[in-house]
Structure 1
Amino acid sequence: MTAPAAPPIRTVGNSAVAAVGILAGALGTLESVVSPTLPLLQRELGIDPAQGALLSIAMLITGALTAPIAGVLGDRHGGKRVMIWLMVVVTAGGLVSSLAPNLPVLLAGQALEGAMVGAMPLSFILMRKLLPADRSPVAIGVVSGFFVGGGMLGTLIAGPIAEGLSRRWMFAIPTMAIVAATVLVHRLLPGDQPSRTDARIDWPGMLLLSGIVLTFMAGLATAPDMGSQPLLLIGVVVLLAIFVTGWVAVERRTATPMFDLRLLARPAIWRSYVVTFATCVGAALSIYLVTQLFAVSGDGYGFGASPTDIGRYLLPAAAMAAISGPLGGLGVRRFGSTAVVAAGIVLMTAGLIGMALVHTEVWHLVVGKALISLANGACITALVIKTATSVDQGNTGTATSMVLVIRVLGFATGAQIGGAVLTAGTPAGSDIPAESAYVTALVIAGVVTTLSLLALRTMSKGARN
């Protein structure tokens, strides 16, 4: 059901778009500070690697569950209002994390911070509502680019802040930036009218989607044990099948589904989701493997780099990630989203295979990672724009939030594949993987990324975008 006619909303200027972009950058920074400092957190909190792994995925899980809820609420109540309330939750999470004396409290803080993922579909709702059609793709690209760039910035600064000040400040500083950016958004961005009036939340659908995400994550976490415990594999597959079947049944029957399954009948939508998953698997593998290669000192390979050195080496990738969103938005306006995604996939594949073949010098990895960051950022931006413009305004938040859920699942899958391949490639009696394990994992990433071209090929038959 569409909302009653409302007075037209004035379009926003560049300052308002910049405010949303700055907020996205601050969120991306806070999102990424745990990963590079996980060994430090384990040491200071006295936790083992298994508990550290739980800490590393807590935000991913809650983020994947929050994004669809935020998208639906934004469509039905207005994107700006819901975004402000989400930032209150994220700020509380940042404060809890910065003050956490132990693992349970830090996990609670990370769970609250996960609400930040919901801000992205809300920003897409706002950019599409408050900007002319020819400006919204670039604005969406700017916001996406700031978020990705913020993530790289967090990876770079987390270690120096934690070592130079304390682990508390690596949470507190991005949280203060989020508060300041939220004030800017509140002042500069006009309120938007709800796109839909059916304000009921599909709680059964949300619970079943939560079951799907949690089962999928649990399956990834226990994947190394499944070879020796086939019943575990069967249990995960059966449970996942039950949740998926139940979710589909509920979404088909409810009057106000959280996700309209009829959208999946559109090739532009389901193929966007497939390509998003595949490219994020490849990107996650590159992030994990390149960092490991910089740090490792193996037999004839690796560089034994310190955390500070790794930060410097990743700086070009951070710069490419920051500009990838705006470039992707400009590319979509000029050439169409399919062309941008195809170019990004080719560039990502070249970077991954290139690093698999040649990684004897630092600059080989620096260049390869920078190319992948640029290509992946442009791909995700173009896929979000494609998804947003393939549905009516009332479904913008719902459809784009699923892109973000799939992005989270893709990154989690890629990281797990990387860890599994390196573990399998570690010789007995050694804790350093063989060089061939890195090569194998990078080739896998390149193959998965390339295969996404099969879904892309007919993503928009007869359509320019």
Structure 2
Amino acid sequence: MLAVVLLAVFSYALLQSLVNPVLPRLQKDLHTTQSQVTWIVTAYLLSASIFTPIMGRLGDRYGKDRILIVALVALAAGSLVSAVAPGIGVMIAGRAVQGVGGGVLPMAFGIIRDEVPPGKVPAAIGATAALTAVGGGAGIVLAGPLVDALGVRSLFWIPLAMTALAAVAAHFVVPPSRSRQEGSINWASALLMAGWLLALLLPLAKAPAWGWSSPRAIGLLVAAVVLAGSWFVVEARSPSPLVDMRMMRVPAVWTTNLVALLLGIGLFSVFGFLPAFVQTPPEAGYGFGASVTEAGLLLLPMTVMMFVAGLVSARWVIRLGARTMFAASTTLNVIALAMLAFEHDRPWQVLVAMALLGVAFGSAFSTMSNVIVAAVRPEQTGVANGVNVNVRTIGGSLGAALMGGIVSAHTPAGGLPTENGYVYGFAALGAAGVIAALAALLVPGRKPTADAVPGRHERPAAVLHQVRKS
């Protein structure tokens, strides 16, 4: 069962970044413009952001095993549409369908909590969280070789085969959910949440092209504030909320989500901008003139160390506590981003910075998932992890907008970005990392133990306390 869940997680994570390095090839293959081809990434981001928490809530209500299969089928269907797309419009639609597969992550964490023996839950969650990060890095590493060997459409055919295999296996291997949250789904709340996420993330993704002062960007950001306020009121009054606001106020939950937001700013920006940095010809005063494949290999240390750190961090968080782990991870994040900003003249410097970032993100994301799982009731696991994943995505959108704005401001018309654009951009990401390190100090310092994670037949301590009190 765990092998099937990990295959599902890796398939989804791979699709997050697999097409990013080859957008110019897709632009040529689809005979479209640069502004249109970026919607291949934007559509996936927006769809995943909207559907991840919704699918998490559906899994908590109707069964995580069922919704996992739905998410995998959506990934496979979207991959098929994108693989055979004759034009840019159909491929964008396929990528939007793939975004529904964002439900794989909260379902994976929920299934592990329900089915894995309690003492092994932290390690299994750590491996799953690490594989999530590894998939994003592996997509960038594998994109070039796959395109060179099999063509650009192989970036959709291969994930199609993986997700279809995972869906069939999940049908036979993953048992029905033992814990379910009663009550109907508040679809008005779901629509409001989709509305404010769309209104927030769309201008963040397109502001470099639109301009921050454009009426579209300002109007959407204002709409995001209004819709988010309305959503909060509806959720607070609903007897069956999509996202329980009491759960979100738990200290371990909101502080972990704050760290996730700030760390996400750095992770997705590095994935998005470092390949372009190392591919820049040295004649520009920086860069190594790397190919797409070589640029991916420079990210390989980050991918490897993410996985290693994710595997071992579950043991360390039990010994040291979540606060200490977050403090160490965020500090490594700042050191690595400072290296990228000020020490990037040699390939080995980039390799070292990538390895440090891998340790930082792998240990942090593994710790986040374990803290969230231990802090909420079993029937809230899906939606709680869906929100945490979404918070990281919002952080990534903020980071990409920040980095993109700085690099664009230091790009002459018709030319390459200047070195200062990247220096100031990575330094700004490092500043966000410093804030993340400070936020880590807010995380409750109690050391979790393996026995603290509620298992299949246990009720969380908070519930037992209320029973005794009554």
TM-score (norm. length: structure 2): 0.90
- Asked if structure 2 preserves the Cα contact closer than 8 Å seen for 1:211 and 1:243, the reply is yes
| Aligned pairs for 1:407-422 within 5 A | 407-422=392-407
Which region of structure 1 is more displaced relative to structure 2, 106-115 or 25-34?
25-34
| Aligned pairs for 1:296-335 within 5 A | 296-297=280-281, 298-335=283-320
What is the aligned partner in structure 2 of residue 372 from structure 1?
357
Unaligned segments of structure 1, at least 5 residues: 1-15
| Counterparts in 2 of 1:183 and 1:254: CA distance versus 1, 3 Å | same
- Asked if structure 1 preserves the Cα contact closer than 8 Å seen for 2:317 and 2:448, the reply is no
What is the aligned partner in structure 2 of residue 157 from structure 1?
142
Quick one: distance in 1 between partners of 2:382 and 2:167?
A: 20
Corresponding letter in the other structure for 1:417? L
Give 1:225 shift.
6.8
| Counterparts in 2 of 1:40 and 1:227: CA distance versus 1, 3 Å | closer
Which region of structure 1 is more displaced relative to structure 2, 137-146 or 232-241?
232-241
Quick one: distance in 1 between partners of 2:210 and 2:89?
A: 28
| Counterparts in 2 of 1:329 and 1:18: CA distance versus 1, 3 Å | farther
SS at match of 1:134: helix
- Asked if structure 2 preserves the Cα contact closer than 8 Å seen for 1:388 and 1:396, the reply is yes
Quick one: distance in 2 between partners of 1:343 and 1:350?
A: 11
Deviations 1:361-395 (A, max 9, x none): 01111111121122112212211211121111121
Is the aligned partner of 1:167 residue 2:152? yes
State the Cα RMSD in Å: 1.9
What is the aligned partner in structure 1 of residue 454 from structure 2?
none
Give 1:17 shift.
1.6
What is the aligned partner in structure 1 of residue 62 from structure 2?
77
Corresponding letter in the other structure for 2:279? A
Quick one: distance in 1 between partners of 2:108 and 2:22?
A: 29
What is the aligned partner in structure 1 of residue 264 from structure 2?
280
Corresponding letter in the other structure for 2:429? A
- Asked if structure 2 preserves the Cα contact closer than 8 Å seen for 1:348 and 1:449, the reply is yes
Give 1:234 shift.
4.3
What is the aligned partner in structure 2 of residue 395 from structure 1?
380
- Asked if structure 1 preserves the Cα contact closer than 8 Å seen for 2:269 and 2:400, the reply is yes
| Counterparts in 2 of 1:89 and 1:462: CA distance versus 1, 3 Å | closer
What is the aligned partner in structure 2 of residue 3 from structure 1?
none
Is the aligned partner of 1:292 residue 2:276? yes
Deviations 1:214-273 (A, max 9, x none): 111222134347767365554234212211111011101111110011123222111111
What is the aligned partner in structure 1 of residue 246 from structure 2?
262
- Asked if structure 2 preserves the Cα contact closer than 8 Å seen for 1:286 and 1:445, the reply is no
What is the aligned partner in structure 1 of residue 13 from structure 2?
28
- Asked if structure 1 preserves the Cα contact closer than 8 Å seen for 2:50 and 2:198, the reply is no
Quick one: distance in 2 between partners of 1:90 and 1:165?
A: 21
Unaligned segments of structure 2, at least 5 residues: 450-470
Corresponding letter in the other structure for 1:267? P
Is the aligned partner of 1:139 residue 2:111? no
SS at match of 1:47: coil
Corresponding letter in the other structure for 1:301? Y
Give 1:414 shift.
1.5
Quick one: distance in 2 between partners of 1:337 and 1:184?
A: 34
Which region of structure 1 is more displaced relative to structure 2, 367-376 or 346-355?
367-376
| Aligned pairs for 1:91-102 within 5 A | 91-102=76-87
What is the aligned partner in structure 2 of residue 177 from structure 1?
162
Give 1:19 shift.
2.4
Deviations 1:129-151 (A, max 9, x none): 11233211110111122222222
Which region of structure 1 is more displaced relative to structure 2, 105-114 or 236-245?
236-245
- Asked if structure 1 preserves the Cα contact closer than 8 Å seen for 2:18 and 2:140, the reply is yes
Give 1:170 shift.
1.6
- Asked if structure 2 preserves the Cα contact closer than 8 Å seen for 1:296 and 1:302, the reply is yes
SS at match of 1:302: coil
Is the aligned partner of 1:433 residue 2:409? no
- Asked if structure 2 preserves the Cα contact closer than 8 Å seen for 1:92 and 1:109, the reply is yes
Give 1:461 shift.
4.7
Count residues in correspondence. 448
Corresponding letter in the other structure for 2:365? I
Quick one: distance in 1 between partners of 2:228 and 2:12?
A: 31
Quick one: distance in 2 between partners of 1:189 and 1:53?
A: 36
Is the aligned partner of 1:129 residue 2:114? yes
What is the aligned partner in structure 2 of residue 54 from structure 1?
39
Quick one: distance in 2 between partners of 1:450 and 1:332?
A: 21
Is the aligned partner of 1:243 residue 2:230? no
Corresponding letter in the other structure for 2:313? G
- Asked if structure 2 preserves the Cα contact closer than 8 Å seen for 1:290 and 1:365, the reply is no
Quick one: distance in 1 between partners of 2:83 and 2:212?
A: 40
- Asked if structure 2 preserves the Cα contact closer than 8 Å seen for 1:286 and 1:369, the reply is no
SS at match of 2:118: coil
| Counterparts in 2 of 1:222 and 1:450: CA distance versus 1, 3 Å | same
TM-score (norm. length: structure 1): 0.91
What is the aligned partner in structure 1 of residue 462 from structure 2?
none
